[in-house]
Amino acid sequence: MNVPSTYHYAIIGSGASGSVLANRLSTDPGTSVVVIEAGAWSEDPNTQDPGGFVKLWGSDLDWALPTTPQPGMADRELTINQGKVVGGSTTINAMMYVRGNPENFNEWSARGATGWSFREVLPYFKKSEDYAGGASDYHGTGGELSVCDCPDEVMRSEEFLKGAVEAGYDGPYWDYNGERQENGAGLLQFHISPDGKRASGATAFICPVLTRPNLTVISEAQVTRVIIRDGRAVGVEFVRNGATEQIMVEKEVIVSAGALQSPKILMLSGVGPADHLTSMGIPVAADLPGVGQNLQDHIQLPVIFRAKSERPMTTLLTGNVLFVKTAEEATVPDLQLNFTPSIPSPLAPLLPDFGGNVAIFLPILVQPKSIGSVQLRSADPMDKPLINPNYFGHPADLEVFHKALEIIRKIADTEAFSSLNGGELAPGPGDPDGFIRTQSSTLWHPAGTCKIGSDTDPMAVVDPQLRVRGVQGLRVADASVMPTVTSGNTVAASFMIGEKAADMILSDN
């Protein structure tokens, strides 16, 4: 494909944020936009089937990024699955749509992310959304992204929802994306289209506007660096079909490659901790010690009960949820508790044979105290980054799972849940720490490695307008800019970040 050599804007990555940016920035026919994506366009039916995404893990559509051995997880190396495909991780994720808690965004604002309070970001959530439940003060309709309550009828569990109410929580059909997230049990929401297919960044935001002559998508092109001259981003270098190519940019380069790849690209471009870059032989364009630091990720743990009643397999991984603050001093929920009343068909080949039906509670640590980092493995752009999430590096994170087990057992002991409760299989009685450390895993929600902050924060990578400090014409827009990870699956907030970034870019230019 022959492409122009110069564009107004270059977007690196086509995931949740990048896809929205591509759509919004190309609205003006006089503005040229290019999206550079390392992955390919995919026609694999598993990318459209809401239950098919597990088959994509470890495939050519997955970066399959390894962590370093994690002492807090029995020295295991984990794989963080991230989409290497047009649409990014929105093409291979579990499609759960959770905005986060309003206080997550108010905390961002208090930490120096001026303009990112919940009141200020809510309009951007609503702008993208086409919520099947209808418009309200907290939901939008008519947006590009289809959002609905759990569409899997088998998945909907009256036992869990009414059991949670019996245990003292609100519900049973609480809208956690409404006025209040915490202490209400309800159905998970998903970005799934009305015809039952995945609504990804590609299908929702890019494909409908591909006919725009001012929008170009370059796929199977791995970015090696942003070209910086005299303190300004002026282009992007990438490898395609084994050849190195460059395009030049008149206005801005926006890095939207995710919390693991965006800091890698910045560091390869000479933007990052000077000592680390120097050790890799990379000339320093901007000494920003925060690049690659502040890594936060959600951790999940399966808790298995034998099920009395027999149900068919579910098509989705889960569909019922409760958000809880396990610590009195917590300002936002630190626990997301998902529930599946039978074996999920996407995971059936991976689950052990329990000799009958099971019900699965999935407690998720959504406000980790443990902080990790992303570094370069080498100066070779084809090398995967060195990822150390530092799981369970802080003892408070283990305590959240202890509290989660108490909550699970309280719900399981209710009258409403008794028709399903055939007894706890795992972890069972005794000290659960060994089970937690050996059976927990990532929920694939890395965030925070290029965080927003004020000029007085030496670890801030971008300002509240997402402009990279010390480099003109360069922004970052994806989950990496989160000062703290949201309480819940991160894709909804990543779509929002793309919306707000586009608005700020167009206003500035």
> Which residues are designated catalytic?
445
For residues 484 and 296, the answer to whether their CB atoms sit within 8 Å is yes
Say which residue the tokens 């190519």 belong to.
245
CA-wise closest residue to 489 among 352, 362, 375: 362
CA-wise closest residue to 161 among 172, 174, 177, 176: 172
For residues 138 and 177, the answer to whether their CB atoms sit within 8 Å is yes
Tokens found for residue 332: 């936002």
Q: How far is CA 255 from the centre of its chain?
A: 16
What is the DSSP code (8-state) at residue 425?
Answer: E
What own/partner pairs with CB < 8 Å and gap ≥ 24 does 349-355 have? Answer: 350/54, 354/304, 354/306, 354/425
Question: What residues form DSSP beta bridges with 85?
Answer: 40
Exposure string of 467-480, with b = 16+ CB inside 10 Å and e = fewer, is bbbebebbbbbbbb
Q: How far is CA 438 from the centre of its chain?
A: 23
For residues 495 and 200, the answer to whether their CB atoms sit within 8 Å is no
